[in-house]
Amino acid sequence: MKVISIDEKIDIQNPVVTIGIFDGVHKGHKYILNTLIKKAKAVNGQSVVVTLWPHPRIVLNKDVWNFRLIHSQEEKISHLERMGIDYLMIVPFSEELASMDACDFVQEFLIGKLNVSSLLLGYDNKFGKDRKGDPEGLSECSDKYGFDIETLGEYKSSRENVSSSTIRKALLEGDVVAANEMLEYEYYLSGHVVQGNHVGRKLGYPTANINPHTAYKLIPRDGVYAARVEVKDKMFEGMVNIGVRPTLDSANPVKVIEAHLLDFDGDLYDHDIVLHFCKRIRDEKRFPGLGMLVNQLKADEKEIRAYFNL
Protein backbone atom coordinates (compact mmCIF):
# COMPACT_ATOMS: atom_id res chain seq x y z
CA MET A 1 0.00 0.00 0.00
CA LYS A 2 1.28 3.44 -0.90
CA VAL A 3 0.56 6.25 1.56
CA ILE A 4 0.15 9.56 -0.24
CA SER A 5 -0.22 13.15 0.91
CA ILE A 6 -2.38 15.86 -0.63
CA ASP A 7 0.75 17.65 -1.84
CA GLU A 8 1.96 14.79 -4.02
CA LYS A 9 1.41 14.54 -7.73
CA ILE A 10 -0.81 11.50 -8.02
CA ASP A 11 -1.55 9.34 -11.07
CA ILE A 12 -3.84 6.46 -10.15
CA GLN A 13 -5.51 4.38 -12.81
CA ASN A 14 -9.30 4.24 -12.47
CA PRO A 15 -9.45 4.92 -8.71
CA VAL A 16 -12.33 3.48 -6.70
CA VAL A 17 -12.49 5.50 -3.50
CA THR A 18 -14.01 5.37 -0.04
CA ILE A 19 -13.69 7.94 2.70
CA GLY A 20 -13.79 7.57 6.47
CA ILE A 21 -11.92 7.66 9.78
CA PHE A 22 -11.70 3.84 10.08
CA ASP A 23 -10.62 3.91 13.74
CA GLY A 24 -9.99 0.30 14.73
CA VAL A 25 -10.55 -1.17 11.23
CA HIS A 26 -13.29 -3.37 12.71
CA LYS A 27 -15.79 -5.81 11.16
CA GLY A 28 -17.99 -3.09 9.71
CA HIS A 29 -14.98 -1.32 8.19
CA LYS A 30 -13.71 -4.59 6.70
CA TYR A 31 -17.06 -5.09 5.00
CA ILE A 32 -16.62 -1.74 3.24
CA LEU A 33 -12.93 -2.24 2.48
CA ASN A 34 -13.35 -5.76 1.05
CA THR A 35 -16.15 -4.46 -1.17
CA LEU A 36 -13.89 -1.58 -2.26
CA ILE A 37 -11.10 -3.98 -3.23
CA LYS A 38 -13.46 -6.26 -5.18
CA LYS A 39 -15.05 -3.32 -6.99
CA ALA A 40 -11.64 -1.91 -7.95
CA LYS A 41 -10.48 -5.26 -9.31
CA ALA A 42 -13.70 -5.67 -11.29
CA VAL A 43 -13.00 -2.47 -13.23
CA ASN A 44 -9.21 -2.94 -13.44
CA GLY A 45 -8.82 -0.02 -11.08
CA GLN A 46 -7.06 0.80 -7.81
CA SER A 47 -8.59 0.83 -4.33
CA VAL A 48 -8.12 4.14 -2.52
CA VAL A 49 -8.97 5.03 1.08
CA VAL A 50 -9.19 8.71 2.00
CA THR A 51 -8.95 9.41 5.72
CA LEU A 52 -8.57 12.43 7.97
CA TRP A 53 -5.90 13.05 10.59
CA PRO A 54 -5.94 14.18 13.37
CA HIS A 55 -9.33 12.83 14.40
CA PRO A 56 -11.99 15.56 13.97
CA ARG A 57 -13.10 15.33 17.60
CA ILE A 58 -9.59 16.20 18.76
CA VAL A 59 -9.28 19.19 16.43
CA LEU A 60 -12.78 20.47 17.20
CA ASN A 61 -12.20 19.98 20.95
CA LYS A 62 -15.26 17.75 21.43
CA ASP A 63 -14.80 16.20 24.89
CA VAL A 64 -11.11 15.92 24.03
CA TRP A 65 -10.06 15.16 27.63
CA ASN A 66 -12.10 11.96 27.64
CA PHE A 67 -11.94 10.95 23.99
CA ARG A 68 -9.49 8.19 23.09
CA LEU A 69 -8.72 6.24 19.93
CA ILE A 70 -8.64 2.52 19.19
CA HIS A 71 -5.75 3.04 16.78
CA SER A 72 -2.84 5.39 16.43
CA GLN A 73 -2.27 6.62 12.90
CA GLU A 74 0.59 4.12 12.46
CA GLU A 75 -1.58 1.23 13.65
CA LYS A 76 -4.40 2.18 11.30
CA ILE A 77 -2.00 2.35 8.37
CA SER A 78 -0.70 -1.12 9.24
CA HIS A 79 -4.20 -2.64 9.36
CA LEU A 80 -5.25 -1.03 6.08
CA GLU A 81 -2.10 -2.33 4.42
CA ARG A 82 -2.84 -5.86 5.64
CA MET A 83 -6.33 -5.54 4.15
CA GLY A 84 -4.77 -5.13 0.70
CA ILE A 85 -5.67 -1.51 0.00
CA ASP A 86 -3.65 -0.02 -2.89
CA TYR A 87 -3.49 3.64 -1.78
CA LEU A 88 -4.16 5.60 1.39
CA MET A 89 -4.50 9.37 1.13
CA ILE A 90 -4.27 11.25 4.45
CA VAL A 91 -5.99 14.63 4.46
CA PRO A 92 -4.89 16.94 7.33
CA PHE A 93 -8.01 17.83 9.29
CA SER A 94 -8.50 21.40 10.47
CA GLU A 95 -11.29 23.75 11.50
CA GLU A 96 -11.14 25.20 8.00
CA LEU A 97 -11.68 21.76 6.50
CA ALA A 98 -14.58 21.14 8.88
CA SER A 99 -16.39 24.16 7.43
CA MET A 100 -15.90 22.99 3.83
CA ASP A 101 -18.97 21.98 1.87
CA ALA A 102 -19.02 18.26 1.00
CA CYS A 103 -19.09 18.88 -2.75
CA ASP A 104 -16.18 21.32 -2.43
CA PHE A 105 -14.27 18.63 -0.56
CA VAL A 106 -14.99 16.17 -3.36
CA GLN A 107 -13.97 18.68 -6.01
CA GLU A 108 -10.68 19.57 -4.30
CA PHE A 109 -9.53 16.17 -3.09
CA LEU A 110 -11.41 13.36 -4.80
CA ILE A 111 -11.58 15.00 -8.23
CA GLY A 112 -8.64 17.42 -8.12
CA LYS A 113 -6.17 15.00 -6.53
CA LEU A 114 -7.47 11.54 -7.41
CA ASN A 115 -9.77 12.00 -10.42
CA VAL A 116 -12.17 9.55 -8.78
CA SER A 117 -14.21 7.29 -11.04
CA SER A 118 -16.32 5.63 -8.36
CA LEU A 119 -17.09 6.54 -4.73
CA LEU A 120 -18.13 3.84 -2.27
CA LEU A 121 -19.90 4.91 0.92
CA GLY A 122 -21.05 3.03 3.99
CA TYR A 123 -24.75 3.16 4.81
CA ASP A 124 -24.24 5.89 7.45
CA ASN A 125 -21.22 7.61 5.88
CA LYS A 126 -21.56 11.39 6.03
CA PHE A 127 -18.87 14.04 5.79
CA GLY A 128 -18.37 17.72 5.10
CA LYS A 129 -20.14 20.78 6.51
CA ASP A 130 -23.39 19.82 8.29
CA ARG A 131 -22.56 16.20 7.35
CA LYS A 132 -24.20 16.56 3.95
CA GLY A 133 -21.64 14.33 2.25
CA ASP A 134 -24.04 11.41 1.74
CA PRO A 135 -25.36 9.91 -1.55
CA GLU A 136 -28.33 12.27 -1.65
CA GLY A 137 -26.24 15.33 -0.89
CA LEU A 138 -23.57 14.35 -3.44
CA SER A 139 -25.86 13.38 -6.34
CA GLU A 140 -25.57 16.78 -8.03
CA CYS A 141 -21.83 16.73 -7.46
CA SER A 142 -21.44 13.27 -9.02
CA ASP A 143 -23.46 14.32 -12.09
CA LYS A 144 -21.33 17.43 -12.48
CA TYR A 145 -17.97 15.63 -12.29
CA GLY A 146 -18.98 12.31 -13.81
CA PHE A 147 -18.31 9.73 -11.09
CA ASP A 148 -20.51 6.97 -9.71
CA ILE A 149 -21.68 6.67 -6.10
CA GLU A 150 -22.50 3.33 -4.52
CA THR A 151 -23.88 3.00 -1.00
CA LEU A 152 -23.52 -0.26 0.89
CA GLY A 153 -26.28 -1.61 3.07
CA GLU A 154 -25.83 -1.87 6.82
CA TYR A 155 -23.33 -4.49 7.95
CA LYS A 156 -25.21 -7.36 9.60
CA SER A 157 -23.72 -8.90 12.70
CA SER A 158 -24.79 -10.94 15.71
CA ARG A 159 -24.52 -7.63 17.54
CA GLU A 160 -26.96 -4.81 16.90
CA ASN A 161 -24.30 -2.23 16.15
CA VAL A 162 -20.64 -2.66 15.25
CA SER A 163 -18.98 0.74 15.36
CA SER A 164 -15.86 2.40 16.69
CA SER A 165 -17.98 4.09 19.37
CA THR A 166 -19.46 0.77 20.50
CA ILE A 167 -16.01 -0.78 20.71
CA ARG A 168 -14.64 2.14 22.71
CA LYS A 169 -17.57 1.82 25.13
CA ALA A 170 -16.94 -1.92 25.57
CA LEU A 171 -13.25 -1.34 26.31
CA LEU A 172 -13.99 1.42 28.80
CA GLU A 173 -16.35 -1.00 30.55
CA GLY A 174 -13.67 -3.69 30.56
CA ASP A 175 -15.55 -5.97 28.17
CA VAL A 176 -12.56 -6.82 25.99
CA VAL A 177 -14.21 -10.08 24.86
CA ALA A 178 -17.02 -8.12 23.20
CA ALA A 179 -14.57 -5.55 21.80
CA ASN A 180 -12.36 -8.30 20.35
CA GLU A 181 -15.34 -9.97 18.72
CA MET A 182 -16.22 -6.73 16.94
CA LEU A 183 -12.60 -6.01 16.02
CA GLU A 184 -11.85 -9.60 14.94
CA TYR A 185 -8.50 -9.33 16.71
CA GLU A 186 -7.34 -8.82 20.29
CA TYR A 187 -7.28 -5.18 21.30
CA TYR A 188 -3.70 -4.13 21.86
CA LEU A 189 -1.69 -1.39 23.50
CA SER A 190 1.97 -0.77 22.77
CA GLY A 191 4.41 1.02 25.01
CA HIS A 192 7.88 1.38 26.42
CA VAL A 193 8.96 -0.40 29.61
CA VAL A 194 10.08 2.09 32.27
CA GLN A 195 11.56 1.72 35.71
CA GLY A 196 9.16 0.82 38.50
CA ASN A 197 9.63 0.52 42.25
CA HIS A 198 10.38 -3.24 42.08
CA VAL A 199 7.74 -4.11 44.70
CA GLY A 200 6.29 -6.77 42.40
CA ARG A 201 9.62 -8.59 42.30
CA LYS A 202 9.71 -8.68 46.12
CA LEU A 203 6.22 -10.23 46.10
CA GLY A 204 7.25 -12.90 43.61
CA TYR A 205 5.51 -11.21 40.69
CA PRO A 206 7.98 -8.98 38.83
CA THR A 207 6.22 -6.61 36.46
CA ALA A 208 7.05 -4.49 33.45
CA ASN A 209 5.69 -0.97 33.84
CA ILE A 210 4.45 0.31 30.49
CA ASN A 211 4.38 3.88 29.26
CA PRO A 212 2.01 3.94 26.22
CA HIS A 213 3.49 5.18 22.96
CA THR A 214 0.44 7.28 22.06
CA ALA A 215 -1.26 9.81 24.31
CA TYR A 216 -4.69 9.37 22.72
CA LYS A 217 -4.63 5.55 22.76
CA LEU A 218 -7.57 4.13 24.71
CA ILE A 219 -6.65 2.32 27.93
CA PRO A 220 -9.23 -0.30 29.00
CA ARG A 221 -11.04 -0.08 32.34
CA ASP A 222 -8.97 -0.53 35.48
CA GLY A 223 -8.59 -4.14 36.59
CA VAL A 224 -6.69 -7.37 36.09
CA TYR A 225 -6.56 -8.94 32.63
CA ALA A 226 -5.40 -12.10 30.95
CA ALA A 227 -3.24 -10.90 28.08
CA ARG A 228 -0.72 -11.97 25.51
CA VAL A 229 2.47 -9.95 25.79
CA GLU A 230 4.54 -9.42 22.65
CA VAL A 231 8.27 -8.90 23.15
CA LYS A 232 10.68 -8.82 20.19
CA ASP A 233 8.21 -10.72 17.97
CA LYS A 234 7.77 -13.41 20.63
CA MET A 235 4.48 -13.93 22.47
CA PHE A 236 4.11 -14.72 26.17
CA GLU A 237 1.00 -15.22 28.27
CA GLY A 238 0.68 -12.79 31.14
CA MET A 239 -1.23 -10.96 33.85
CA VAL A 240 -1.84 -7.25 33.30
CA ASN A 241 -2.96 -4.80 35.96
CA ILE A 242 -4.34 -1.37 35.14
CA GLY A 243 -5.02 1.00 38.01
CA VAL A 244 -3.60 2.83 40.98
CA ARG A 245 -2.32 -0.18 42.98
CA PRO A 246 -4.35 0.81 46.09
CA THR A 247 -2.66 -1.71 48.39
CA LEU A 248 0.80 -0.38 47.55
CA ASP A 249 0.34 3.25 46.52
CA SER A 250 -2.85 4.44 48.19
CA ALA A 251 -1.14 7.59 49.53
CA ASN A 252 -0.21 8.77 46.04
CA PRO A 253 -2.55 7.17 43.52
CA VAL A 254 -1.13 7.32 39.99
CA LYS A 255 -2.53 5.07 37.28
CA VAL A 256 -0.07 2.45 36.06
CA ILE A 257 -0.11 -0.30 33.46
CA GLU A 258 2.01 -3.26 34.51
CA ALA A 259 2.46 -6.74 33.11
CA HIS A 260 3.74 -9.94 34.69
CA LEU A 261 4.85 -12.46 32.08
CA LEU A 262 4.23 -16.09 32.97
CA ASP A 263 7.20 -18.45 32.66
CA PHE A 264 9.51 -15.62 31.64
CA ASP A 265 12.91 -14.91 33.11
CA GLY A 266 14.59 -11.77 31.84
CA ASP A 267 14.85 -8.01 32.04
CA LEU A 268 12.34 -6.02 29.98
CA TYR A 269 13.45 -2.58 31.06
CA ASP A 270 13.83 -0.13 28.16
CA HIS A 271 12.14 -2.55 25.72
CA ASP A 272 9.06 -1.88 23.61
CA ILE A 273 6.25 -4.35 24.23
CA VAL A 274 2.67 -4.87 23.07
CA LEU A 275 -0.17 -5.98 25.33
CA HIS A 276 -2.93 -7.99 23.59
CA PHE A 277 -5.95 -8.02 25.91
CA CYS A 278 -7.90 -11.29 26.07
CA LYS A 279 -10.21 -11.23 29.10
CA ARG A 280 -10.84 -9.09 32.16
CA ILE A 281 -10.45 -11.20 35.30
CA ARG A 282 -11.52 -8.87 38.10
CA ASP A 283 -11.65 -5.34 39.48
CA GLU A 284 -8.61 -3.82 41.10
CA LYS A 285 -8.93 -4.17 44.89
CA ARG A 286 -7.35 -2.81 48.04
CA PHE A 287 -6.18 -5.50 50.47
CA PRO A 288 -5.50 -5.06 54.20
CA GLY A 289 -1.96 -6.38 53.82
CA LEU A 290 0.64 -7.67 51.35
CA GLY A 291 -0.04 -11.29 52.33
CA MET A 292 -3.63 -11.10 51.13
CA LEU A 293 -2.48 -9.34 47.96
CA VAL A 294 -0.03 -12.17 47.22
CA ASN A 295 -2.78 -14.75 47.79
CA GLN A 296 -4.99 -12.90 45.31
CA LEU A 297 -2.16 -12.72 42.76
CA LYS A 298 -1.72 -16.49 43.07
CA ALA A 299 -5.44 -16.97 42.48
CA ASP A 300 -5.27 -14.62 39.46
CA GLU A 301 -2.33 -16.57 38.07
CA LYS A 302 -4.20 -19.86 38.48
CA GLU A 303 -7.25 -18.50 36.66
CA ILE A 304 -5.18 -17.00 33.87
CA ARG A 305 -3.14 -20.18 33.42
CA ALA A 306 -6.41 -22.11 33.14
CA TYR A 307 -7.67 -19.58 30.57
CA PHE A 308 -4.57 -20.12 28.44
CA ASN A 309 -4.49 -23.90 29.15
CA LEU A 310 -1.01 -23.62 30.63
- For residue 176, what pLDDT is reported? 98
Q: Are residues 202 and 266 in the same domain?
A: yes
Question: What's the pLDDT tens digit per position in 280-304?
Answer: 999 999 888 888 899 999 999 999 9
Q: Residue 139: what pLDDT?
A: 81
Position 133 scores a pLDDT of 66
Both 138 and 201 in one domain: the answer is no
Mean pLDDT of the chain: 91
For residue 113, give its domain range.
2-151
**235 beta partners:** 230
Q: Are residues 136 and 28 in the same domain?
A: yes
Is residue 176 assigned to a domain? Answer: no
Q: Which pTM was predicted? A: 0.93
Q: Which of 127, 151, 175 is the last residue of a domain?
A: 151
Question: Do 111 and 26 have their domain in common?
Answer: yes
Do 9 and 99 have their domain in common?
yes
| Assigned domain for 162 exists | no
Number of domains present in the structure of the chain = 2
Asked, for residue 77, whether it belongs to a domain, the answer is yes
Establish if 157 belongs to a structural domain.
no
**Quick one: 73 and 116 in the same domain?**
yes
Average pLDDT over residues 41-48: 96
Same-domain pairing of 86 and 201:
no
Q: Do 134 and 194 fall within a single domain?
A: no
Of 95, 130, 151, which residue is a domain's last? 151
In this structure, the answer to whether residues 255 and 146 fall within a common structural domain is no
Q: Give 178-212 pLDDT, tens digit per residue.
A: 999 999 999 999 999 998 777 777 788 899 999 99
Q: Is the pLDDT of residue 117 over 60?
A: yes
Note whether 20 and 129 are same-domain residues. yes
pLDDT over 70, % of the chain: 95
Task: Please report the pLDDT score of residue 160 as a whole number.
Answer: 67
- Whichever domain contains 293, its CATH number is 2.40.30.30
Residues 97, 47 share a domain: yes
